[in-house]
Amino acid sequence: MRQIDAYVDAVYQNIGGNRKEIQELKAEMKSHLMEAVHELKAEGLTEQEAIATAIERFGGEQEIRSIVGQLFQAQKTFAKWVLYLAIGILLITASAFTFVYSIEEKNADENSIVATNIFGVLGESTQITEDMKSEINSLIKSTDQISKVEIYDVSSVENGNMVFDYVRDAKPDYRYEQTVWNPAWLQADFFPYGNGDEKWYVDMETRHIGDLLSIILFSGMAMYVTLFTIWATINAYHHRRLTLGWIVVFAFFNVLGYLVYSFLGKKSKNTGMI
């Protein structure tokens, strides 16, 4: 029935999208119209009357074309914004991770400098004077990640390998503690940082935010991978190539997996398989 073919072609005229998908949609629309025509003819209408009535009931050409166009555009827009959101989350994750990691590295450098300066204050002294304590306290207060410092006189330890056993059981010759800013969201832990020479051993308890780094990295990457997989899955669906295997590839291999998918799709198209 040429009128139905012409109507269906007109509805999908200038509609962008996957050709195979459009052809399948056109065939489905034609099937519905043909079914309606047969029902109307069974009710006593002539073929021309049945065709005209079926088309009229289905909707005006301009109206249906507008609806179809909006549907395809909505699908494209949704997929596009999913991809944009995925890329945005990836960039934010990378920026946040880099920023927090740089802070952690800066803190580690500061702790190392403080430890070196404490050894400079101790020098070759045989005991810790009040002036030395005051100077050490000032060094600790200049940081915001050292919660405790313990200093041990290890000059009596003959075997250097036994220093750690000695420090573990001995009472420190000097100890200084301070409250360190550590809100719950920071997810910080405190770890020992020890160093020594032939005379003194300095043990510091410092704040580390490695857990926060892990949370930023894994949560951000999880959201990115999920959104990218959704975007890739939508595209595969529109290309009529969606399988569970491709979803797994998109999820585990991400951009590389989608590049393989695109390459195989182009290769199949060139060889006439699609």
- Among 170, 186, 209, the domain boundary falls at 209
Domain membership flag for residue 145: yes
CA atoms of 269 and 274, how far apart (whole Å): 5
User: 204 and 120 share a domain?
Assistant: yes
Domain membership flag for residue 240: no
Domain membership flag for residue 16: yes
pLDDT on residue 19: 67
pLDDT on residue 18: 60
Domain membership flag for residue 127: yes
Which residues of the chain fall below pLDDT 70? 1, 7-8, 11-21, 57-74, 160, 267-274
Assessment of whether the complete model's pTM goes beyond 0.85 = no
Residues 6+ apart with CB under 8 A from 27: none
pLDDT on residue 80: 85
pLDDT on residue 196: 86
User: 204 and 137 share a domain?
Assistant: yes
User: 114 and 174 share a domain?
Assistant: yes
State which amino acid sits at residue 88: G
Q: Work out how many domains the chain is built from and give that number.
A: 2
| Structure tokens belonging to residue 106 | 């800066």
pLDDT on residue 178: 93
pLDDT on residue 87: 94
DSSP 179-221: -----GGG--EEEEEEEE-SSEEEEEEEEE-HHHHHHHHHHHH
pLDDT on residue 274: 41
User: 34 and 125 share a domain?
Assistant: no
Which CATH number goes with the domain that contains 169?
A: 3.30.1140
Range of the domain at 118: 109-209
Place of tokens 């000097």: 174
User: 115 and 194 share a domain?
Assistant: yes
- Among 209, 224, 250, the domain boundary falls at 209
Place of tokens 């009529």: 240
pLDDT on residue 222: 94
Place of tokens 């969201």: 185
CA atoms of 90 and 217, how far apart (whole Å): 10
Domain membership flag for residue 267: no
Domain membership flag for residue 176: yes
Domain membership flag for residue 90: no
User: 44 and 121 share a domain?
Assistant: no
Domain membership flag for residue 269: no
- Among 165, 192, 209, the domain boundary falls at 209
